[in-house]
Structure 1
Amino acid sequence: MPLETYLIYLAAVGVFFATPPDTSQLLIISNSIRHGLRKSAFTIAGDLTANCLQMTAAAFGLAAIIATSASAFSWIKWLGVAYLVWIGVQLILTRDSTDEVSADVSGERFRLFRQGFVTSMANPFAVVFFGALFPQFIDPAAPVLPQLFMLGVTYIVVDGAILLLWGWLGIRAATALKRFSFGLVNKICGTLMIAAAALLATRDLQPQK
């Protein structure tokens, strides 16, 4: 892949992320406020794992199937919406932080990983997005798999860095919020989760123009 093409791809990915926080980023902010950046890294890992699977699906041509079968896949999105609303309502109804204390550290890590994974996988648009993005930067005269690998790894690195940045911003917010009651922190985080659900609900399976 020519350097010029790769730099254009980096710029395109950068422009894509130069937007207000999306569903996954709101989840990272919420978990960073409640659990800290180290624990919310498991949520980031879950999100990026889902992205890898979505890229693989796009590489095998499933993007076209999803794009033409939106009604068949819409239930995935709505399950994700319900999942996020459920988390949000639980947080809003929690009055203190006692639910955060758990001896099952591995269970908590898996729960945070699952939140990131489910939230990302609940957006089938991502497969369509990767299916539309990658072919624009692939040279058909060169081996395709190495190019897909480079594009995919680059996206994961940039996405991971952006999620860490949003998590850090969440930590900065937590410094101020935790001077107040934990109930207020939970209500704010729950509201973020419901906002993430609303964002997911408004997404469709058609690539954005």
Structure 2
Amino acid sequence: MSLSIIMVYLIATVSLSIIPGPNMLLALSNGTSKNNLVILMGIIGADIGNLILITAVSLGLGAMMQASSTLFNLVKWLGTLYLIWLTIELWRHKPDIKKLQLNTNKTIYKAMIRAFVVAISNPKALLFFTAFLPQFIDQGKPQFFQYSLLAIITIFVDTIVMVIYACGGNHAARYLTDIGLRRLNRCCAFIMFSLAVLLAFYKKIN
């Protein structure tokens, strides 16, 4: 894999990652907690989910979903329902600035699990990786190293972008009132619901 191909993939990944998606919105929401462990575990959960998706693509699961409408629709509706549940959770959440730094294991692992589930239950991401990653793979050379390199780049870029979103949430928590933070959460909830609707109407390309 040449340096030029790596640079093109890096630029493309950065461009796509900065677009607000479910995991970026969760990173923003986690940032408002001002709890570094919550932020970190949320990022780790999303990264693990993305790593599994890329591994699945390298093993052919993406192509299997592309061929099976039943499997695709099952994952799609599970992902849609989970995004709707997160929408309701964000909308109903009432931030309390005095309790933002409360450190509980329940909150920490909840942040990790929900970010992981969002990443792993998105069929659009799996099919996107299926269509996108192979374009950068040299079929005449060992593919394990190539997929591993692209996975590292993807995880690195997504992590940096999620940190930026989390810093934005952290910054907001420093200056906004409880009402302001609630409005921010509801903005995230609205975008999350919009993503759920888009996912519900998404159809795989035959």
TM-score for the superposition, normalised by structure 2 = 0.84
Return the offset for 1:99: 8.2
User: What is the match of residue 14 of structure 1?
Assistant: 14
CA distance in structure 2 between the aligned counterparts of 1:116 and 1:16, rounded to whole angstroms: 18
Q: Is the 8 A contact 1:33 1:170 kept in 2?
A: yes
Q: Is the 8 A contact 2:62 2:130 kept in 1?
A: yes
Mapping of residues 153-168 of structure 1, within 5 Å: 153-168=152-167
Q: CA deviation at 1:201?
A: 2.7
> How far did 1:23 drift?
1.6
Question: What SS is found at the alignment partner of 2:140?
Answer: coil
Q: 1:55 to 1:186 in 2, by over 3 A?
A: same
Aligned length: 202
Q: Residues of 2 paired with 1:72 and 1:142: CA distance? A: 31
Contact 2:75 2:121 in 1 (8 A): yes
Aligned to 1:202: 198
Q: Is the 8 A contact 1:93 1:187 kept in 2?
A: no
- CA distance in 2 between partners of 1:90 and 1:10 (Å): 34
Deviation sequence 1:66-109 (CA, Å, 0-9, x none): 12334533343333333343344344445563986877x32221
1:79-90 paired onto structure 2 within 5 Å: 79-90=78-89
Q: CA deviation at 1:22?
A: 1.4
Runs of 5+ consecutive residues of structure 1 not aligned to the other structure: none
Q: CA shift at 1:30, angstroms?
A: 1.4
Partner amino acid for 2:46? D
Secondary structure at 1:34's aligned position in 2?
A: coil
Q: Supply the distance in 2 between the matched residues of 1:31 and 1:206 (Cα, whole angstroms).
A: 31
For residues 69 and 133 of structure 1, the distance between their equivalents in structure 2, rounded to whole angstroms, comes to: 19
Query: Identity of counterpart residues, as a percentage?
Result: 26
- The alignment's C-alpha RMSD in Å is 2.6
| CA–CA distance in structure 2, aligned partners of residues 166 and 130 of structure 1 | 23
User: The residue matched to 1:9 in structure 2 has which SS?
Assistant: helix
Q: Any unmatched runs of 5+ in structure 2?
A: none
8 A contact 1:66–1:205 mirrored in 2: no
> Quick check: 2:32–2:172 contact (8 Å CA) kept in 1?
yes
The TM-score, its normalising length taken from structure 1, stands at: 0.83
Following superposition, the deviation at residue 59 of structure 1 comes to: 0.5
Aligned residue identity for 1:192: C
Residue 196 of structure 1, CA deviation: 1.2
| Counterparts of 1:95 and 1:142, CA distance in 2 | 53
